[in-house]
Structure formats: C-alpha cells, structure tokens
Structure 1
Amino acid sequence: MRGADPAIVLIPGVGMFSYGKDKQTARVAGEFYVNAINVMRGAEAVSAYSPIEESEKFRIEYWALEEAKLQRMPKPKPLATRIALVTGAGSGIGKAIAHRLVAEGACVVVADIDEESAQAVAQELGGPDKATAVTADVTSEEQIKAAFEQAALDFGGVDILVNNAGISISKPLLDTTTADWDLQHTIMARGSFLASREAARIFIGQNMGGDIVYITSKNAVFAGPNNIAYSATKADQAHQVRLLAAELGEHGIRVNGVNPDGVVQGSGIFAGGWGAQRAAVYGVPEEKLGEFYAQRTLLKREVLPSHVANAVFALVGGDLTHTTGLHVPVDAGVAAAFLR
C-alpha cells in the first residue's frame, strides 16, 4: 500500500502546504490539487460535483502498469529532501560544491556577493526546482539572515551550510596593513561565524540536526611565507569548527572542515591576483603555479574544485553520521600540514 502521509495539508487561515521527495514533486502535487479544486468549482457552477466510486479510485491508484513503473524507479539519491546553502557559490570551489550537492539530490541556495554569478550558477543547476540564487555579503548580518529567510521561503528550511566565501591577501608581515588584516578576517572569520550562527539558530528550531562544513585550508596548520593575514584567518576558521562541534553536538548538528591545498584551476581567488602573488613568492610563472603546487605534494597531483566538492559530499552524504570536529585534508599529501 502507498504511504498514508498526506501530500497536501490545509491549515485554515494560513493556507496550503504540499509535500514530496523534492521541490518539483511537491510543486506538482500542489498544482494537481489546485486544478482539482477548480474542476470541482466548475462542476458546482454548472450542476453538482460527484467523485468517482472508491473502487475506481483504488483501481486507478494501483494500476498494474503504474505499479510496475514505480517498482523500477531508482532509489532516492543520498541528499534527497536536504537543502544546502553554499556561500561564495558563484565561482570556483563553491560552484563545484553546489553542482555536486545538486547531483546527489539536494536543493541548493547559491549565495554570492556577485548577484549575476549566483543567478547563472542557479540556472546551471536546474532553475527554481533545484536551486535559487541570493545576493549575500557574508560580512553583513542583515544579508546573511535574509539569505536564510529566502532559503526557507523557496525550499522550506536549511539542512546544510557550507562556509566557502573568502578572499586571499598575500603579503609579507611588514607590507600587511591593518586594512588588509581587517578585510581578510572580516570576510572569512567573521563571515563564517555569522553564517554558522544563523544556520545553528535554524537547525535548532527545526529540531532535525544539520551539517556545517567549513572550507578552510592546509594553511590553517601550515606555516608558509608572506601569508600572515590569510593563514591566520584560516586558523581562526579551523578552530571555529572545533568550538562549534563541541557546542552544537547536543542538538545533532555536526561541524566539520575541509583543508585543501591551493586550488588554482577555476578559482576566482587565484584569478583575482592571488595566483600572481603566490607565483611571485615561489618564483614560478603564474601559469605553472598549479603544477608547482602538485609537485610539492606526496602524490604529485593538482587539487581541483571537484576534489574539494567530493570531500564535502563525503561529510554530508550520510555515511559519516558519527563524525564531527574533523578536518579532511584535500591536498594530495602535504607532509608539513599533517594534522598529527
């Protein structure tokens, strides 16, 4: 027999709520219901509406061919029914994460300070049934709150937050200004704090647990040259993971991090000047920076946005239900950044 849970719930004075395995299924159920009501109204306007016999309803609902089709339907994807909000999702690592989560069945809120980029990624992901775009400067409490409110309006809530938004300032200590320091920390340390605080507030209210993932860096534990502001704020984010994992565990909220090596290909940060700065520090051509990073690793492999996205999915996909406070290295093996 079919499940007894209703697809449509009416609350007098409030409205209609429709439910399904994803937004598209719920939307279609609502459209069918509204159309059925319109048919009834039309019938009543002419004469009277009379439903078909219960036996006929059963025959239609359990039509043999339809049952055979349902039995051959694939199992739900691992992230079906889950809603993710990804900051900095308009390009690079964030965009790759959004694509991977949607591919695994999630609906995604693409949050980015660049409205045009966010909208473009949301369209790539399948439009409003799969993704929605929000303009969010992570340094603004108001914009962070508005992003989560939009997620609730579009998808009904949030289950996963990925803190990815950031910038990179590469300078020696004596060239690093207080403005550089403050900007780096305001965007990444403060920004991820604000997003995590709002996510935790929603997760606790929903009483369904949740996942927070920080995209930190091997620089959180690795002392490289001419990188004081960036590496210090990454260390801040890394410790936020531990602190929030300890505080939020009682609510079923898991907090983990991913520590990539330098992700050059497809990166908005590297394209925006960080690549040239790091190439100058290491004395290599900018176009060879990815190869340089690869050759200093144990596996001699370049880290791509998709590799970081794979790690995020591993943390939220359902197999690591008892893991929190963990940092997953995605650096092809940088011995100096080993956690132990």
Structure 2
Amino acid sequence: MGKLERNIALVTGAGSGFGAAIAEKFAAEGAVVLVGDINQTSGEAVAVKLHGATFVKLDVTSHADWKAALPLAKPSVDVTDDEFDTLLNVNIKSVYLSVSEIMPYFVGRGSGASVNTSYMDRITQGLASEYDTKGVRINPVCPLRAPTGLLEKFSGVLDTPEKRERFGKSVPLGRMTEPMDVAKVVAFPASDEKSGFITGVW
C-alpha cells in the first residue's frame, strides 16, 4: 500500500518540471491525481501517462480557476514588468489564492495537508501556525535551483549547459535538483505517514 492511498491530490504546475514529477510520485504512492496546469497540451499528456489521473486547467493566479478546481478534488535577468508580475503571482499570489479557496474546505473536514513548493517559506510557516489547531498541516519545500521551465524563463544565470554544470559543482550534491528529488520530499508531509508535529518546518 502506498503512502497516499485513498488520497486525492491536486498538483499544480503538473504539466512539467517539479509538478509533473510530484504528480508521478503521488500516483505511484496510490493517490488519485488531478494534474493542474495552465498548459492544456502538456497537462493532458502527463495525465494520460499516469493512467487514472485527470487533467484540470488551472491558472494558479486566478480565483475562478481555484474555485472551479476545488469540487474536482472533493471525495465521491532581463525581465519585463509583466514577467516579474507573473513570477510573483506564481510563487506568492498562488499561495494566497489556494488558501482562500482550499482552506475553508480543509477546516470543514477537520483535516488536510498542503505543501508549497516555493521560496516564500515564511508565508507557509505563518499559515501553518494559523491552521494547525484546525487539523490542517501546511509545509514549505524550498528546492535548490533546478532545470525547470520557470528557471529557464526567468534566469539568464543558468541559461547554458556550461553555466548549469558550473553551478552544480558549487553545491553539496554536485548537481542541480531534479524534479523527482522534490517530488519524493513532497510526498512525505502530504501523506498520513507523517508525524503530527511536522507542520510549517519542513
């Protein structure tokens, strides 16, 4: 039996990168996976690959998309201003929007788990403190730089194989983070195998 049997997981950004790897890991651990992504083509491809997963068109910066996604998860350095806003929205506003739509559902159930793959761990820690007494665990995962679409779009620092190799040599593992590395970490705090103590500190 997998760590996530009988769980329904809505994985955002699941059409590629960290999200795709997390969706794959969650499916392997027995979860029913909703593949959420703004890119329908790549999101549907991941859903098909995972057999039994369902694609959900989801722009994490949209209230309407979060509201539409929730019922499906219930059981039965030249950056333009627009690009910078997108980066902030995906990494910060998305956390706020997910809380406003998902937390009332978790609180109503008296249980739930949320894991934010973001560098905004202070926000997650604050949310964990707020919702702990309501039975909801919230944990941050702050990955090392990894070869994902978001990095390629916003970072000129690692835009060539040579630069990435040089960066890899500067960190303990000797390489960049791979999406499945992050997926394996995320699966534990999202599962019922966790210790009740682990919230806001992952």
What aligned pairs does 1:153-168 form with structure 2 within 5 A after superposition? 155-156=75-76
Aligned residues: 201
Q: Which residue of 2 aligns with 1:269?
A: 150
Letter in 1 for 2:162: K
The corresponding residue for 1:297 is: 171
Quote the Cα distance in structure 1 between the aligned partners of 2:117 and 2:141: 5
User: Equivalences for 1:20-39 in 2 at 5 Å?
Assistant: none
Q: Structure 1: which 5+ residue stretches go unaligned?
A: 1-75, 157-169, 217-233, 281-285, 328-340
CA deviations 1:257-312 (Å, max 9, x no partner) are 11111111xx22244x345x1236xxxxx012332222111232331111101110
* Residues 196 and 212 in structure 1, CA contact (< 8 A), matched pair in contact too: no
Secondary structure of residue in 2 paired with 1:212: strand
Residue 258 (structure 1) aligns with: 141
Match of 2:142, SS?
Answer: strand
Q: Which TM-score applies when normalising by structure 2?
A: 0.90
Structure-1 residue corresponding to 2:19: 94
In the alignment, the residues of structure 2 paired with residue 177 and residue 95 of structure 1 have an alpha-carbon distance, to the nearest angstrom, of 27
Question: Percentage identity across aligned positions?
Answer: 33
TM score, norm. by length of structure 1: 0.55
Aligned CA RMSD, in angstroms, stands at 1.9
- Counterpart among 215, 219, 237 of residue 117 in structure 2: 215
Larger radius of gyration: 1
1:185 to 2:88 alignment:
yes
Cα displacement string for residues 188-246 of structure 1 (whole angstroms, at most 9, x for unaligned residues): 21112101222211111222x11111112xxxxxxxxxxxxxxxxx3xx3221111001
Matched ranges for 1:296-315 at <5 A: 296-315=170-189
Q: Does 1:278 align with 2:157?
A: yes
1:283 paired residue number: none
Gap regions ≥5 residues in structure 2 = none
CA positional deviation for 1:119: 1.3
In the alignment, is residue 200 of structure 1 matched against residue 103 of structure 2? Answer: yes
Asked whether the 8 Å contact 1:79–1:101 carries over to 2, the reply is yes
Instruction: For residue 211 of structure 1, give the secondary structure of its aligned residue in structure 2.
Output: strand
**One-letter amino acid of the counterpart of residue 113, structure 2:** D
Classify the secondary structure of the residue corresponding to 1:149: helix
Moved runs in structure 1, 4+ residues, more than 6 A? none
One-letter amino acid matched to 1:185: L
| Paired AA for residue 114 in structure 2 | I
Contact persistence 1:213–1:255 (CA under 8 A): yes
Query: Contact conserved, 1:263 with 1:290, CA < 8 A, in 2?
Result: no
Matched AA of 1:325: G
